[in-house]
Amino acid sequence: MTVVLPCLDEALALPGVLARVPEGWQALVVDNGSTDGSAALAARLGARVVHEGRRGYGAPVHTGIEAATTEVVAVIDCDGSLDPAELVGPAATIARGEADLVVGRRRVVEPRSWPWHARAGNAVLAALIRSSTGVAVHDIAPVRVAQRQALLDLGVEDRRFGYPLETVLAAAQAGWRVVEVDVTYRRRTLGGRSKVSGSVRGTLRVLQDFTRVLLRRRGRRTAPPHHSRAHPNGAHPDRATTPNPLT
């Protein structure tokens, strides 16, 4: 198994994050132009490091998936807000063939972990996905686990912050079985602010990218339905995919 960790100036968080990577897994840090020594530190700590010069979120994530050499890959932020140790269960679900994509639903366990503006925007978009595709997700996939080649074959085009949204939409339109599981969500290491949604301005930028993804994929038909299933611990209802999403 490989965990892809997109990284921009996370030297403070990397030691703790890499220490939580499950035993036997490959940590693949994709450095996105860090200036704080993150890449060198990750290499010293035993991670494989690759570089992606295009700024954004999708570019380093996609580069990491391409660079991975295992059949199953996971993607997770490396700012300390999420726990790589929680990837074991989702990866096993994929390996057993019980789902095509496992996504994480954040469960906040520390105050001020998730700014209100980011949470509100996320909730609106997740509701849109549920209503338009039937895929029972409640979060725009801060954690994703799937077969590597299948992810690449989805043809996700966005290389900015719309990448996770487009991944879920493309999976729905391909008729994938999507399973949502709860994941623990904490404040970033040393209280650091998200580079994506840590400010209202950043959240608006993300929403612009999401809007572009929605417009680009509007009207694409969904494949014959598999079923979106919730993990028993999440207690989310089953919902089948429906035709003509986002119309």
Tell me the pLDDT tens digit for each residue of 64-118: 999 999 999 999 999 999 999 999 999 999 999 999 999 999 998 877 777 777 7
- Residue 16 forms part of a structural domain: yes
Residue 182 to residue 235: CA distance in whole angstroms: 10
- Residue 47 forms part of a structural domain: yes
The answer to whether residue 223 scores a pLDDT higher than 70 is: no
- Residue 246 forms part of a structural domain: no
For residue 161, give every residue at least 6 positions away whose Cβ sits within 8 Å of its Cβ, in sequence order, or none: 56, 57, 58, 196, 205, 206, 209, 210
Residue 60 to residue 57: CA distance in whole angstroms: 6
| Residue predicted with more confidence, 229 or 143 | 143
- Residue 142 forms part of a structural domain: yes
Specify the number of domains making up the chain: 1
pLDDT at 216: 74
Domain of 206, in residue numbers: 2-240
- Residue 247 forms part of a structural domain: no
Q: What is the pTM of this model?
A: 0.82
- Residue 121 forms part of a structural domain: yes
pLDDT at 217: 65
Check: CB of residue 146 under 8 Å from CB of residue 73: yes
- Residue 44 forms part of a structural domain: yes
CATH number at residue 21: 3.90.550.10
Percent of the chain with pLDDT over 70: 78
- Paired with 144 in beta bridges are 75, 103
Nearest partner of 161 among 103, 204, 216, 106, judged by Cα: 204
pLDDT at 28: 99
**pLDDT band (50, 70, 90) for residue 190:** low
The answer to whether residue 210 scores a pLDDT higher than 80 is: no
The answer to whether residue 192 scores a pLDDT higher than 60 is: no
Residue 65 to residue 44: CA distance in whole angstroms: 22
- Residue 245 forms part of a structural domain: no
pLDDT at 197: 47
The answer to which of 33-37, 194-198, 227-231 has the lowest mean pLDDT is 227-231
pLDDT at 226: 55
The answer to which of 71-75, 196-200, 235-239 has the lowest mean pLDDT is 235-239
